[in-house]
Chain A
Amino acid sequence: SQQGEEDPQALSIQEGENATMNCSYKTSINNLQWYRQNSGRGLVHLILIRSNEREKHSGRLRVTLDTSKKSSSLLITASRAADTASYFCATADTGRRALTFGSGTRLQVQP
């Protein structure tokens, strides 16, 4: 079963705009991670936020986590064509030694 569910499933924006993706999950977690997958490639880790953190930044990425609502968001600022990819959230569920991935958001950045 998919723990994290991303919203929207697909997003198309212009270069320079911001992109926001949301992830909801169901169980108690230790951390939540975001990954990027370029077409035909493996996943690449972007950022990890722990359950006791509310916000984290890495370059043009900003991640928030609301454990009371069991949700997270990923914001990519000043997007570039190279940001075109699928983005997945993954939860490290309490008591489980493996990640659970969502179904992903496909982001298209138009030049």
Chain B
Amino acid sequence: NAGVTQTPKFQVLKTGQSMTLQCAQDMNHNSMYWYRQDPGMGLRLIYYSASEGTTDKGEVPNGYNVSRLNKREFSLRLESAAPSQTSVYFCASSVLSAGGPSDTQYFGPGTRLTVL
């Protein structure tokens, strides 16, 4: 039982390049989330998927797109990377029963992205 896994662990991009961050969970959770964490700050929500087939914007969605590929996998794509997107990206998942409030989230180890 690996929990939440993320690939890659580290990535360096040049401005304008694109890339996809991968996330998978094996806990049969309904909901998945993408956050970014900048130095000395808390997490800011980029996008989330409350259930398979749905996605919603969070606080900072500009410059990103997501795909909920199936119940297990939720990917984050940067179409044209900018230096302002240099950050640590965390994926998380939770059970989140239908109509229920946000519950415990389980986090992956993060992807450290640098955009030059």
Residues of A within 8 A of B (CB): 1-2, 4, 30-31, 33, 40-45, 48, 88, 90, 92-94, 96-104
Known: A2-B42, A88-B42, A101-B42. A96 touches B107 (CB 8 A): no
Q: Which of B38-69 contact A (CB under 8 A)?
A: 40-45, 48, 50, 56, 58-59
Binary flags per residue of B83-116, CB closer than 8 Å to A gives 1, else 0: 0000000101000100001111111111000000
Instruction: Give Cα distance in the complex from A40 to B50, angstroms.
Output: 27
Would B107 and A44 count as touching, CB distance under 8 A?
yes
Instruction: Give Cα distance in the complex from A110 to B42, angstroms.
Output: 24
Instruction: Give Cα distance in the complex from A10 to B77, angstroms.
Output: 34
Instruction: Give Cα distance in the complex from A92 to B31, angstroms.
Output: 14
Contacts of B41 in A (CB 8 A): 103-104
Check if B74 is an interface residue, CB within 8 A of chain A: no
Known: A98-B48, A99-B102. A42 touches B31 (CB 8 A): no
Q: How far is the CB of B2 from chain A (nearest CB, A)?
A: 13
| A44 nearest in chain B by CB position | B107
B33, B50, B92, B104, most chain A CB atoms within 10 A = B104
Instruction: Give Cα distance in the complex from A1 to B96, angstroms.
Output: 23
Known: A41-B109, A42-B108. A96 touches B43 (CB 8 A): no
Contacts of A48 in B (CB 8 A): 103-104
| B40 nearest in chain A by CB position | A103
Q: How far is the CB of A2 from chain B (nearest CB, A)?
A: 6
Instruction: Give Cα distance in the complex from A97 to B33, angstroms.
Output: 11
Instruction: Give Cα distance in the complex from A16 to B74, angstroms.
Output: 42
Instruction: Give Cα distance in the complex from A103 to B43, angstroms.
Output: 7
Contacts of A33 in B (CB 8 A): 104-105
Choice from A1, A40, A99, A102 contacting B105 with Cβ under 8 Å? A99
